[in-house]
């Protein structure tokens, strides 16, 4: 029964979170998925890349979303290409 509650809580947080958090990170928070720190950085880099190239957001806007500097976002995007 607890897993069902965690599933609903993760779903509600993914839908209603003010910050646009990656769904994978929310699932890890509730223990529904396990990621290594390297996999988390990879997921974040892929999301940053998507925001930069597809959504046409600036590096500064992406940095605010991920609590990073714009140069840190640039380095992470370039590193994971």
- Alpha carbons 35 and 70: distance in angstroms, whole number: 25
Cβ atoms within 10 Å, residue 44: 19
Contact 47/76 with Cβ under 8 angstroms?
A: no
- What is the band of 6 on the pLDDT scale with cuts at 50, 70, 90? confident
* Confidence at residue 19, expressed as pLDDT on a 0 to 100 scale: 67
Q: Which of 66, 10, 75 is nearest to 40 (CA)?
A: 66
Predicted TM-score (pTM) of this structure: 0.72
| pLDDT, average across residues 38-58 | 91
* Confidence at residue 21, expressed as pLDDT on a 0 to 100 scale: 72
* Confidence at residue 81, expressed as pLDDT on a 0 to 100 scale: 65
- What is the band of 71 on the pLDDT scale with cuts at 50, 70, 90? very high
* Confidence at residue 58, expressed as pLDDT on a 0 to 100 scale: 94
Contact 59/74 with Cβ under 8 angstroms?
A: yes
């Amino acid at each position: 029964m607890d897993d069902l509650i965690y599933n609903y809580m993760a779903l509600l947080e993914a839908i209603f979170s003010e910050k646009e958090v990656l769904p994978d990170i929310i699932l890890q928070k509730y223990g529904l998925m396990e990621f290594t720190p390297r996999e988390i950085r990879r997921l974040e880099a892929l999301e940053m890349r998507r925001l930069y190239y597809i959504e046409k957001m600036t590096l500064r806007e992406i940095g605010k979303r991920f609590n990073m500097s714009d140069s840190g976002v640039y380095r992470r995007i370039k590193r994971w290409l």
